[in-house]
Chains A and B, each alone.
Chain A
């Protein structure tokens, strides 16, 4: 589904991501873990076509995001860590806007909006302006807008931040629906427990480099993900000190 090959992204002289290679297969839920400033958001923004990059390539279903950005974006949906949406629109106008961009037929969009807005308990607020929404409500609206065109690849940056426990549970259910249908999820998180329980694959990034990636049970083994993560960071720091 998603192949990242030797991705390098620089901001001036600063190397944000260096030679990152990883693959996410159909049906995977891939958790992307790292400290603040490790390069998670930069990688995610490169995957969804927001950032250009200096070296390497990103392929979605075999298509390069560099060569075919629009075709790639048709297959994915992205939810940022802070859902800044068009505050001058109402919730329903925003959903119709996204549905128009993806060309979702009226009947289908109605079914999906009913389903997801009902599931996330946002139906009553769809006519209200987004400027009146709380952070969690904006996050829910971003989730609905991401699911409205039935994406094959869902890319999320810290998706559970701001969501109430019930919405978090519902979103996890949607993740499962997507992967059961052959889609894939790629998300960053600081919640190591969530990653360990939810993801079948995990990648750990540190200072722009992928230090570990693979099936969750292989990486974690008999330890907790938290312990593995801290061990990796300590190794990295002692390596740097040396």
Chain B
């Protein structure tokens, strides 16, 4: 082993070049054991490339990456025994049964037939699939497929688990099922690297977050740190009359000098408010003079979405939940 196990995942200056594209361009990451690290970033930011390198599926062009204390390029075999990968598709065999999947992959981890069978039983129980053990995954729901996928990743109880957009395209109920399973694994000491488009998912699961854009980490910290350091406080004004949205937006922009954003769902306008109370008083005064009727007003912390827009200049992928196309 080349380093201490201070970090479960450690990369330094990772670069991956495809033709003219630098998918990763000096990517640095350090994840402590037993924590969940969320990788956030727009499409094409390099998140999946980083995961594929860390899983030994891709060779980096330059730089250094270690997983569970082993260099992913020089010691891929050791790394592969210590990781689980759950990618964007539920990578399960649709023809074998749920149990058949676990036994087959168990044998490929070189468990004996007996060990593989016993491990399959444990995992079916642990992931709530015991009743569906003898059914083919093509008859499973999206959430069940994903749990089987996670169970396969967990055959060796690996210290490091990679989840690449584990709930993309899932409805909210199935996403919660997956989150529950992930939390359970983390409570047993697993380190998780999670890439996601869904900022609420990162907020729910991650102990630390790294925001990735153009192949580098542009910000890192706990969700709370990111929200308070990068996103400033936000002033939210809910209007009584939806017709006032345009005027209210203009007034807020004028007062704060920052771009105010209107939300059409409820007639609401938000604006970053560095000077909390000062801004609040002025807004109330001017709205009163302009006869803009306010039904609610308040100051809150930024959401991760706002942090994300501020960092990358664009919103995260729209988070429309779609039931997985199975």
Pairing of A with B? no
